[in-house]
Structure 1
């Protein structure tokens, strides 16, 4: 009953003040509250307004880094879209995009709010920006992103929460992070498992995803006997050597460097660029080329693409048309090699009358597409006819029959600009000296020496 009485007394005092026309500056009430009239506000200004709070935020800030200012602005921004987090990464990458800059952005976001508000949107934006910073294959960066999640908040406490997919949005974000690791071939480590257990628990979807990755990845990690390194050589000659040895199906193939890349300046001051020329040829290809009919032309074809992860290189072939049936000559096997002295593991001919069951089919439907023989392969810095002619000239030293065989160039528009006819024609004074041809030992003989 005290509250209604106090309100009634305040109302009565206000009426008496208006009736008497005298300003009542302050009336002391039992509760310690103060009553002030409109005249008192005009007289004393804002000094007698005890319960007033300004809703405006102070614009003065202490000196901070630009990233921390951007992170604080996001705290007051109601729009939690990916644009704000993308802007945070773009401001950090104005000068350079390195791993240190990426980690600095993650640290700024982790320290700006202890509750990690907007962490799901930030992690999605960080996953999208990882290839730009070159950290898409770094396991420590993925663990740092997992550390952004609040700990022990999304862990289900009972079987009902576990059954109804506790915090599905956060679990889906964790699974998406692990899927990106899987796409780049990154195997999680023990720290990843500990973080997932602290964030989502032992029976969550991200933990199940981690267990599947750890089961299958070690089985297929060394499935490819000829893996391509993640970092390819920057030297074009080394890259051509690696690519040609990967294409060649014979370990005895000999790789030859016909010309190294260089830049010369002529007497007139013109700059002449000499591209690299690297070729490979096996002994079987050399013997087939020696038996080629001089009346039939050979063709230089290309360029053909070869992808090495994200790098595309191009190579050229020296080949011929398929041999007509009337010119085919079946090679007779040496009778000395067919007998008790032949190898039982690699026999040249097997003549056995094997008994077959009644249901066996003796006919085979095989689509035999005949292709012309391939005599050599090469990679060059330029795909014009003048550069490839130097490759053919180098092949004539080991295969003199090429000087008698007509050569036809079937070149398509390659990745580089073709030289004009005026650039290809050289005067005797401007003729470029050729480098000595360097022949490497076959791969098979190198392994035997080792």
Structure 2
């Protein structure tokens, strides 16, 4: 029988073997404890189930201090009255920060505060303002001096802040220039991540700027009537389109006083005149179209397909045993001689029907659409004799927003105008 011992050094040269008998007397640290016996009458502790709020990581003290400092820096902009907020006052707030603190302490928090207030001042698409914001960074201090600083992102919070400014420029379609390049070069150097982001913007943003075949002006007109004209010009594929605007007060029977922008083409007038007199037309909408950040609601006048209006004969499929046996031999021995060529459909004849007109109204109500029909009937007298079906629905039904009861689909038939 092999008996193992553990030898422990006692003093300078004495060694003592530890056996199970004398192990208790040495009082060595125990690495294992026997499980405690459960006492009678005590309930077992249930494992605690952590909720989502407990799983969510709470912000540390540094993050709370930074958020509080950003709120304090917003006072540079909030102390300006709303009627005086423009580009000049925004630049004045930046200059006041640089004059109050020569050391530029907490300049990162000030830049984040400036980004939050750019839309309130209307300067979120101004390149000169972004240059003033990036000039807040001290020059030369954040430039990496060796390969290790380049690899491990020298001054990471400051570089992240500068990248956030560039991302805001990219979101607002602001293209940088050579002056902005020198600002980043003097602040962070040529081998920083900020410079890498800037060079990618130099390459891609000019390409995206000219990629749209139907360009929109960078600065949209503030007049909603002019915006409606631009939207109708972009949506209509016919170069002979006629876009007219009028006030509903010109219509004697109008009850809604607003403006209407109408778009119709000569081919659409011809399609209306060629339709049977008892065939109904449909006014559908509202649909949404975007011009930059502006959302406009438009409506269309369309014709339903014949197969949707007339049920026709019921199609009875042939039995499966006759499908492969009935061969049409005439296709092999006779040549096809067409009597006439089919007319090529216009761009307004789509698979789901014919688009006969479009409009954008100021109020997007049924009364304004009735005024639009009355305006079209001046140049298309056939519209007075046709039934008009209004299929109106809210644009919220095309999104994830659940519409209310008043925004549900409404359908009415107006037999005459």
If the TM-score is normalised by the length of the shorter chain, which range does it land in?
0.5 to 0.7
1:186 counterpart SS class: coil
Q: How does 1:231-250 map to 2 (within 5 A)?
A: 231-250=219-238
Paired residue for 1:298, among 281, 306, 313? Answer: 281
Match of 1:406 in 2: 387
Following superposition, the deviation at residue 133 of structure 1 comes to 1.0
2:123 counterpart SS class: coil
Match of 1:390 in 2: 371
Match of 1:423 in 2: none
Match of 2:96 in 1: 108
Match of 1:372 in 2: 353
1:87 aligns with 2:75: yes
Q: Deviations over 1:338-393 (max 9, x none)?
A: 9xxxxxxxxx79xxxxxxxxxxxxxxxxxxx9412221112223344443233222
Match of 2:145 in 1: 157
| Equivalent pair of 2:248/2:368 in contact (CA under 8 Å) | no
| Equivalent pair of 1:115/1:150 in contact (CA under 8 Å) | no
Match of 1:206 in 2: 194
Q: How does 1:224-303 map to 2 (within 5 A)?
A: 224-257=212-245, 259-260=246-247, 274-303=257-286
Q: How does 1:48-87 map to 2 (within 5 A)?
A: 81-87=69-75
Paired residue for 1:311, among 291, 294, 307? Answer: 294
Distance in 1, matches of 2:339 and 2:283, equals 32
Match of 1:144 in 2: 132
Task: Flag structure 1 segments of 5+ consecutive residues without an equivalent.
Answer: 1-76, 265-271, 339-347, 350-368, 419-450
Pair 1:255–1:83, CA change in 2 (3 A): closer
Distance in 1, matches of 2:394 and 2:193, equals 51
Pair 1:141–1:282, CA change in 2 (3 A): same
How does the TM-score come out when normalised to structure 1? 0.60
2:353 counterpart SS class: coil
Of structures 1 and 2, the larger Rg is shown by 1
Distance in 1, matches of 2:385 and 2:206, equals 55
Q: Deviations over 1:137-187 (max 9, x none)?
A: 111111111111111111122223223221111111111111111111111
Distance in 1, matches of 2:139 and 2:282, equals 67
| Equivalent pair of 2:137/2:187 in contact (CA under 8 Å) | yes
Distance in 1, matches of 2:227 and 2:149, equals 55
Match of 1:20 in 2: none
- Shifted more, 209-218 versus 404-413: the winner is 404-413
Distance in 2, matches of 1:119 and 1:406, equals 67
Match of 1:67 in 2: none
Following superposition, the deviation at residue 411 of structure 1 comes to 2.9
1:126 counterpart SS class: helix
Following superposition, the deviation at residue 210 of structure 1 comes to 1.0
Compute the RMSD of aligned alpha carbons. Answer: 3.3
| Equivalent pair of 2:243/2:264 in contact (CA under 8 Å) | yes
Following superposition, the deviation at residue 221 of structure 1 comes to 1.6
Q: Deviations over 1:28-53 (max 9, x none)?
A: xxxxxxxxxxxxxxxxxxxxxxxxxx
How does the TM-score come out when normalised to structure 2? 0.64
Pair 1:90–1:235, CA change in 2 (3 A): closer
| Equivalent pair of 1:80/1:118 in contact (CA under 8 Å) | no
Match of 2:26 in 1: none
| Equivalent pair of 1:127/1:177 in contact (CA under 8 Å) | yes
Following superposition, the deviation at residue 281 of structure 1 comes to 1.4
| Equivalent pair of 2:66/2:109 in contact (CA under 8 Å) | no
